[in-house]
Structure 1
Amino acid sequence: MTPIIAIVGATGNQGGSVARSLLQNPSFRVRGITRNASSEASRALVLLGADVVEANGFNQEDMLRALQGAWGLYVNLNSDDEAWRNPDGPTEFDLGKSIVDAAVGASVKHLVFSSGPPCTEMTDGKVRMKAMDKWLTAPAVKYKIEQYARQPGKFQAVIPINAAWYMENFLSKEAAPVFGGFPHFPDEDGYLTFRVPNWGGDNKVPFLSIGEDYGDIVQGIFLDPARWNGHVVHGLSDIRGFDEVVADFEEATGRKARFEPIMPSWEAFDTHGIQELEDVKLMFGFTQVTGGRYFAREPTEAHTAAELKRATAMALGKPEGQYGLLKIRDFFHSKFA
């Protein structure tokens, strides 16, 4: 029987990438779980060959039905959901716990969970949400759900994957002014200036192509979940310093660019009141305090993602030239040249 992999968040950036990758492999069946099965994104998945079912993560009966017969489960929760800003409402952890409990009840064997690092622990409490005590930064609450899922007896394998800085974020013209205008709006000197705090440590930053690599990395995990059980997978495509990023952009496009670090610390980064950027600001605080370590206590590494990408490419019968992860220079060349 062909194993079914269910995807919570199948119409989002991460879940959609996972679905599109898995749908290329006839060894798997894909079941997308969404709150709106009639949405345009849901219909697009159906056209690609996925089964799409409608379920509310807070409704145990819904989720048990949606997860029946699934061998594996990928979960990504939307940390920017407006619902989490209601101090009297449910939390993201409540949703994650509900989904995990339903998956256990449906006898799902393998869970790949889009998680985050233990921010509070890794910074000795120096970086945490400064709003209400009920709230946690997005990475911290995901890590809390991950720990709940890892409790003995729930799954045969639990594999957390932490996503790096999306390369695709550079495509957003709306966000570019917050980061100095790069790579869309030149400054008064004619440069596309990337203005952010230093990363910390050796200032090497992990970047991820959601479109090209993320889904293949996750599929690589599902090809052999027992091997990766408990391993925190660094979800990335390339590791580059911000100065190297703008140099890559210049090389790929021929346009003038420069990096200007915001000094003296991450706290000087102005989010212009945009709530979604508060976690970005805290990310810089986190990495500066941890010496540039973003995924866990171990240094950032790309060999695991490269191995998983290669395993997927081989399983799909792709030519060897398509085995590698996307370099940010090549991303800029394809999108901006």
Structure 2
Amino acid sequence: MAKRILVTGATGNQGGSVAKFLLEYPDKYKVRVLTRNPESDAAKWLAQQGAEVVKGDLTDASTLDAAFSDCWGAFVVTNFYDATIKDDPASEEQQGRNAALAAQRAGVSCFIWSTLPSSVEISKGEVCCEIYEGKHRVDGFIRDEIKFDAAVFVYTGNFYENMVLRGHVVKTDDGKGIEFRQPVIQQDTTLHMVWVEKDLSGITKAIFDNWDERKEQLRYEHLCAMDAVHTPREICEVIQRVTGLPTKYVVLPTTGNAQRDIMFTLYNKTGTYPGVVLPDQKVLDLGVQLHGLEQFVKERLVPHLGLG
């Protein structure tokens, strides 16, 4: 019998990628997606693909018991870029707590929480980024306070998709070159990268696939959902090699948001995950085949730039 999985953030990049991938396996998984707006185009599209769309809000705990009811598994992500919480990153922490408590009450067997490490710990006290700290505190809440033993944690990296979805990579005005534009991040900063659409979704499914047999091994583990470490300089080199067009890195002065600027300053000081070597052996042991930068550039970036 197919297992029901609740996916939050399903109209965004992380949750959407997980929901779409699981929908390809209807014999194994039934997908339920949580959204504040079931009438959105993204929610309607997911419904057309076979997802059960339920209305709810991670900020409103009263809407969550019904959403998690009868679910074997859950993939939960909160989104700092959500317009409703953009100026209040602490809200993300409350959303994570609300979700974990509701999943525990519902008896969810496998709860995957998309999270980040402590910025204070990895920077040895130099940087405190609330985007990081809120998610990290939810880890401790799940593991140490409510002792929700169905949980496993997934660390996400810098998204390849940002080159497309956030317009970081563009052709120059004359069409003869390419610029990779990012705020604050320096060209030799080390970024642990992930192709969310292919690899976060694949890792999530692999955790669900293996949970019943390997939950004692996976419980409370942090799995790195990333394939490799690249600097912006290296990314430009790959783009230039694939496209044949000169590619320049441009550092923009600010993101326009103080917490995001702090986050990118953290990257410059420490890299995204100091000392972490990729790929993560725990991920490879699940049988996941990861996808890399050059493939992303060929399959997603080149068509996006109209160069295919």
Please say whether Structure 1 and Structure 2 have the same fold, judged by a TM-score greater than 0.5: yes
Q: Quote the sequence identity (%).
A: 23
Aligned pairs for 1:220-231 (under 5 A) are 220-225=206-211, 226=215, 227-231=217-221
Q: Aligned-pair distance for 1:94?
A: 1.9
Q: Aligned-pair distance for 1:109?
A: 2.1
Name the CA shift for 1:56/1:280 in 2 (closer, same or farther; >3 Å): closer
Is 2:251 the counterpart of 1:274? no
Is 2:142 the counterpart of 1:149? yes
1:114-169 deviations in whole A, cap 9, x for unaligned? Answer: 1011002222332125xxxxxx2x12211111221123654333221122111111
Task: Determine if contact 2:236/2:247 at 8 Å carries over to the other structure.
Answer: yes
Aligned to 1:5: 5
Task: Determine if contact 1:199/1:288 at 8 Å carries over to the other structure.
Answer: no
Amino acid at match of 1:11: T
TM-score (norm 1): 0.77
Tell me, in whole angstroms, the C-alpha distance in 2 between the residues paired with 1:199 and 1:140.
25
Tell me, in whole angstroms, the C-alpha distance in 2 between the residues paired with 1:5 and 1:325.
23
1:185-211 deviations in whole A, cap 9, x for unaligned? Answer: 2699x65344664477xx542222122
Task: Determine if contact 1:216/1:308 at 8 Å carries over to the other structure.
Answer: no
Task: Determine if contact 1:237/1:305 at 8 Å carries over to the other structure.
Answer: no
Name the CA shift for 1:82/1:44 in 2 (closer, same or farther; >3 Å): closer
Structure 2 residues not aligned, in runs of 5+: 303-307
Aligned to 2:305: none
TM-score (norm 2): 0.84
Aligned pairs for 1:171-210 (under 5 A) are 171-172=164-165, 175-176=167-168, 182-185=169-172, 191-194=177-180, 197-198=185-186, 203-210=189-196
Aligned to 1:319: none
SS in 2 for 1:224: helix
Amino acid at match of 1:155: F
Is 2:205 the counterpart of 1:219? yes
Match of 1:232 among 218, 222, 227: 222
Number of positions where the alignment pairs a residue of Structure 1 with one of Structure 2 = 295
Q: Aligned-pair distance for 1:38?
A: 2.1
Q: Aligned-pair distance for 1:16?
A: 0.8
Structural RMSD (CA): 2.8
Tell me, in whole angstroms, the C-alpha distance in 2 between the residues paired with 1:69 and 1:212.
27
Aligned pairs for 1:20-99 (under 5 A) are 20-25=20-25, 26-84=27-85, 91-99=91-99
SS in 1 for 2:84: helix
Tell me, in whole angstroms, the C-alpha distance in 2 between the residues paired with 1:274 and 1:308.
40
Is 2:263 the counterpart of 1:283? yes
Structure 1 residues not aligned, in runs of 5+: 130-135, 177-181, 263-268, 312-323
Tell me, in whole angstroms, the C-alpha distance in 2 between the residues paired with 1:308 and 1:274.
40
Tell me, in whole angstroms, the C-alpha distance in 2 between the residues paired with 1:77 and 1:13.
11
Task: Determine if contact 2:143/2:149 at 8 Å carries over to the other structure.
Answer: no
